[in-house]
Structure 1
Amino acid sequence: MRRTLLAGAAAALGMAALPLRAQSNTRIAFGYTAVTDFTTVFVAKEEGYFDKRGLDVEPRFIPLNPSIPAAVQSNSLQMGGPTPSVFLQSIDGGLDHVVVGGGGTTDKNLTGVGLVARTGSGIKTAQDCVGKKIGVPGLGAYLHVTFRAWLKAQGVDYAKVNFVEAAFPQHSDLLRGGSLDAVVTGDPFMARILASGTGYVASHYTTFMPDGMHSILFTARRDWAEQNPAAVKAFREAIVEAAAFVQDPANDATMRQHIGKYIKLPPEVLATIQIGPPGPLVSEAQLAYWVGVMKEQNMLKTDPDVARLIVQ
């Protein structure tokens, strides 16, 4: 069913004919973090889907997701992949950015994200997190916001948890050294922690969320998007084509090689990590879901007009 929907999306974007080309090989510096939610960007780059549409896309690694909107605003990046909460907070703070497309989405069958506690910490339940130091790869980012929503659903006051911002690659060392009691993390970093014996999974907490909600949004400044409409459409075409590639089991090995190039995973880790369903197109309902989650956590002062935030 999902592959059929992607095929339909491709046709709707005009991919049945010649792909739309941007003018003069538009250069796009694209900011990503070390997670597989960016797989469609990696695939589109490596399979030539950007190139054939006149896009010169340069993926650039950004250690912390909350840094992406500022880099887009300064034009250090023309596009980037903030989490929905980071994006909406930047809008709430006055930045005029728009959604061009989407990365990975939630799926109740995914177990590559969770609360990983330090071995010997004794953390087993949401209540055990009270008073503990828990690392998150970006305050206000996807994992932080969703974990707080889970704590609230479990009847725990998340204000009583001490959250510490820590980039994914630091998680294992911070647990091992005792600086943190637990981390909210994901593969491949979770797999490495478990393999080393440094920590254990206390909860695959994201399974409480509905399926199909984006964990990453692909965004740009509104003025840049308005000045480069052909590039925006060509970028979206490319990630829709990449999403279809990702969903084809015959491409699994090649897809994992592309991921490994950008987030530097060893072959044994690449072979086992789960890849979430791609969501190249973003709907108003999907974005509105995140507005609701953030409103519940008093993270927004305004009421974002989600229709205005998505480039058509």
Structure 2
Amino acid sequence: MSVNTSRRAALKTLAMFGTAGAASIILPGCWDKESGAAKSAGAPAVVKSVGDAIVEFKYPDNPSFDLIYLAEELGYFEGTRAKPKYVGKIAAPQLIPLVGTGEIDFGTRMVPLVISAIASGLDLKVVSAGGKTLEEAPHMKYFVRKDSGIRTAKDLEGKTIGFNSFGACAEFVTKTYLRQHGVDVNKINWLVVPDNQGEQTVETGNIDLAIIHPPHSGGAENNPALHKLWSDYDLDRGLGGMAPYSAHGKFIREHPEATRDVVRAVARAGNWVNANPEEARKITARRIGMDLGKVERYAYVENLVVTEPPIQYYIDILESEGKIPRGKVKVKDVYTNEFNPFAGQKV
């Protein structure tokens, strides 16, 4: 993507709010009972009316475990009014600012980034829940060298922690946990390191601890030179692990039916991943050219229905950190389940 005026404005906004410092329900009719795989034949999930135009939504083409890519692979956009239009790779810290300005129409990043973007005046809304943390499928993992001597939270004072961006889960979940264990987080050097570089960077000693998300955490998990300290499940039992999908406000207003089709497609894909984790790993490995043995998966919120506790959790943290004024953003400002056809259904 070219760097233009709106992108520069988005990046300035980003700097304002962070860069400074068990199986789910399977939707009926979609699955082969013997294999659990998606059927290739049969009626589409949404049948367009005659004359309905397909809306292309702008989306990043990143090397990640992502429900948009899986939904497309599984055929969940077929017969709908929505189709992804990939616009190239976009660095993680830029995703939410670019959703907020409309340079991309959808993006998935953690709740605190969305809250901060809304507080700064950007036009976006969470329309679908995403990943959730399970003990066996955490949202992120923490790795050190085996010979580092680092085994407790207090050992990290004076050390360098690498993580994928300021303003998101890796920063705030980690700082909250460290403070709870008596660590002065101001004595830690915080360095942005992309997930796909975290394993190598900690192994070579350029950082002391790497916080890595799936699918790339699998390489570090299997690296004999490294030791896993924790996962985010160990830190907060998953309260901070919801990684939702957000949409640009103008896109939502102009294309409500296409928005609904996107949310339906990713909800179906999330349920499919929960029921077919190994197949999902294979698709991801093939798509990004990664060795299957190193690919880790996410688990997803059932039907991707957004709940309020994970949002309030981050509002409280952002207010306590002084990142947003107290009372400026309410939970209802951040999300809507209006476009999720499964909202209100029992799981």
TM-score by structure 1 length?
0.84
Q: Residues 218-240 of structure 1, C-alpha deviation per residue, up to 9 Å, x if partnerless?
A: 11221221111111111111122
Q: Among residues 1, 8, 24, which one is paired with 1:3 in the alignment?
A: 24
1:297 matches 2:334:
no
CA offset at residue 243 of structure 1?
A: 2.4
Q: Residues 26-79 of structure 1, C-alpha deviation per residue, up to 9 Å, x if partnerless?
A: 10122375443x2x3222111111122121113556453221022223433111
Q: Among residues 111, 118, 123, which one is paired with 2:150 in the alignment?
A: 123
Q: Residues 249-281 of structure 1, C-alpha deviation per residue, up to 9 Å, x if partnerless?
A: xx44432232224443212224xx343234522
Q: Among residues 107, 115, 133, which one is paired with 2:134 in the alignment?
A: 107
Map 1:102-251 onto structure 2 (within 5 A).
102-110=129-137, 113-211=140-238, 214-248=241-275, 251=276
Q: Among residues 255, 258, 266, which one is paired with 2:283 in the alignment?
A: 258
CA offset at residue 148 of structure 1?
A: 1.1
Q: Which moved more, 1:106-115 or 1:116-125?
A: 106-115
Q: Among residues 45, 54, 57, which one is paired with 1:28 in the alignment?
A: 57
The number of residues matched between the two structures is 299
Q: Distance in 2 between matches of 1:198 and 1:132?
A: 18
194 and 63 in structure 1: CA distance in 2 versus 1, 3 angstrom threshold: farther
CA offset at residue 241 of structure 1?
A: 1.7
Q: Distance in 2 between matches of 1:62 and 1:131?
A: 34
Residue type at the aligned position of 1:245: W
Asked if the contact 2:139/2:232 (under 8 Å) is kept, the reply is: no
Partner in structure 2 of residue 284 of structure 1: 308
Unaligned runs of 5+ in 2: 1-21, 31-42, 339-347
Asked if the contact 2:169/2:241 (under 8 Å) is kept, the reply is: no
Asked if the contact 1:79/1:218 (under 8 Å) is kept, the reply is: yes
Partner in structure 2 of residue 13 of structure 1: none
60 and 245 in structure 1: CA distance in 2 versus 1, 3 angstrom threshold: farther
Q: Which has the higher contact order (CA 8 A, sep 6+)?
A: 1
Q: Secondary structure at the match of 1:68?
A: helix
Q: Which moved more, 1:82-91 or 1:171-180?
A: 171-180
More helix by share: 1
291 and 124 in structure 1: CA distance in 2 versus 1, 3 angstrom threshold: same
CA offset at residue 288 of structure 1?
A: 1.8
33 and 134 in structure 1: CA distance in 2 versus 1, 3 angstrom threshold: farther
132 and 84 in structure 1: CA distance in 2 versus 1, 3 angstrom threshold: same
Map 1:11-50 onto structure 2 (within 5 A).
19=46, 21=48, 23-31=52-60, 34-36=63-65, 38=66, 40-50=67-77
Asked if the contact 1:44/1:238 (under 8 Å) is kept, the reply is: yes
Asked if the contact 2:132/2:138 (under 8 Å) is kept, the reply is: no
Q: Among residues 83, 96, 99, which one is paired with 2:110 in the alignment?
A: 83
TM-score by structure 2 length?
0.76
Q: Distance in 1 between matches of 2:88 and 2:100?
A: 17
Asked if the contact 1:144/1:184 (under 8 Å) is kept, the reply is: no
Asked if the contact 1:72/1:80 (under 8 Å) is kept, the reply is: yes
Asked if the contact 1:107/1:207 (under 8 Å) is kept, the reply is: no
Q: Distance in 1 between matches of 2:175 and 2:62?
A: 21
